[in-house]
Amino acid sequence: MTKPLTNLAIKRIAIATLGCKVNQFETAAMAEQLKAAGWQLVPFNTQADLYLINSCTVTSRSDAESRRLIRRARRLNPAARVVATGCYAQVQPEALAAMVELDQVLGNEEKQRIVEALVQGDNQVTDLSTLTAAGPLRLTSHLEHTRAFLQVQNGCENGCSYCIVPAARGPNRSASADEVTTTVQRLAANGYQEVVLTGIHLGAYGLDQQPTSSLTELVRQLEQQTAIPRLRLGSIEPNELTDELLDCFVASSRLCPHLHIPLQSGCDSVLERMRRRYTADFYRRVVERAAAALPDAFIAADLIVGFPGETEAEFEATYRLVEQLPLADLHVFPYSRRPGTPAAAMPDQVPPQVITRRAEQLRQLATEKRTAFQQCFVGQTLQVLGLRHDLQQGMLTGLSRNYLELRYPGGPELLNQEVTVRVTGMEQGMLAGGLISKST
User: Domains (ranges, CATH) in the chain?
Assistant: 5-126 (3.40.50.12160), 147-375 (3.80.30.20), 381-438 (2.40.50.140)
pLDDT at 21: 86
**pTM (predicted TM-score):** 0.90
408 DSSP β-pair partners: 396
CA 366 distance to own-chain centroid:
19
Print burial letters for 169-199: b (CB count within 10 Å at least 16), e (below 16).
bbbbbbbbbeebbebbebbbeeebbbbbbbb
Measuring CA to CA, which residue among 59, 2, 43, 57 is closest to residue 331? Answer: 59
Measuring CA to CA, which residue among 160, 145, 219, 188 is closest to residue 414? Answer: 145
Q: How many CA atoms lie within 13 A of 120 on its CB side?
A: 11
CA dist., res. 84 & res. 8, Å (int): 19
CA angle 167, 171, 174 (to 5 degrees): 135
Measuring CA to CA, which residue among 237, 36, 271 is closest to residue 153? Answer: 237
pLDDT at 132: 74
Say how many residues make up the chain: 440
Q: 44 near 12, Cβ under 8 Å? A: no
pLDDT at 137: 56
CA dist., res. 127 & res. 109, Å (int): 9
Per DSSP, the three-state class of 42 is: coil
Q: 267 near 317, Cβ under 8 Å? A: yes
Q: Which long-range contacts (CB under 8 A, 24 or more apart) does 394-402 make?
A: 397/430, 399/147, 401/230, 401/256, 401/257, 401/258, 402/256, 402/257, 402/258, 402/296, 402/297, 402/298
Task: Please state, in angstroms and as integers, the Cα–Cα distance from residue 53 to each residue in 104, 105, 125, 408, following that order.
Answer: 11, 10, 15, 35
Which amino acid, one-letter code, is at 275? R
CA dist., res. 151 & res. 258, Å (int): 18
Instruction: Mark residue 348 as left, alpha or beta (left: phi above 0; alpha: psi -120 to 50; beta: remaining).
Output: left
Q: 208 near 173, Cβ under 8 Å? A: yes
Per DSSP, the three-state class of 297 is: coil
Task: Tell me how crowded residue 284 is: count the other CB atoms within 10 A of its CB.
Answer: 16
Whether a cis peptide bond, with omega within 30° of 0, leads into 351 is no
CA dist., res. 22 & res. 151, Å (int): 6
Quickly list DSSP for 355-383. Answer: HHHHHHHHHHHHHHHHHHHHHTTTTSEEE
Split the chain (440 residues) into runs of 10 and give each run's mean pLDDT.
Answer: 49 94 88 92 95 94 95 96 96 95 96 93 91 62 72 93 93 93 93 94 95 97 97 97 97 97 98 98 98 98 98 98 98 93 96 97 98 97 96 95 97 95 95 82
CA dist., res. 265 & res. 275, Å (int): 11
Q: 66 near 84, Cβ under 8 Å? A: yes
CA dist., res. 335 & res. 191, Å (int): 40
Q: 418 near 229, Cβ under 8 Å? A: yes
Quickly list DSSP for 90-146. Answer: HH-HHHHHT-TT--EEB-SGGGGGHHHHHHH-S-B---GGG--SPPP---SS-SSSS
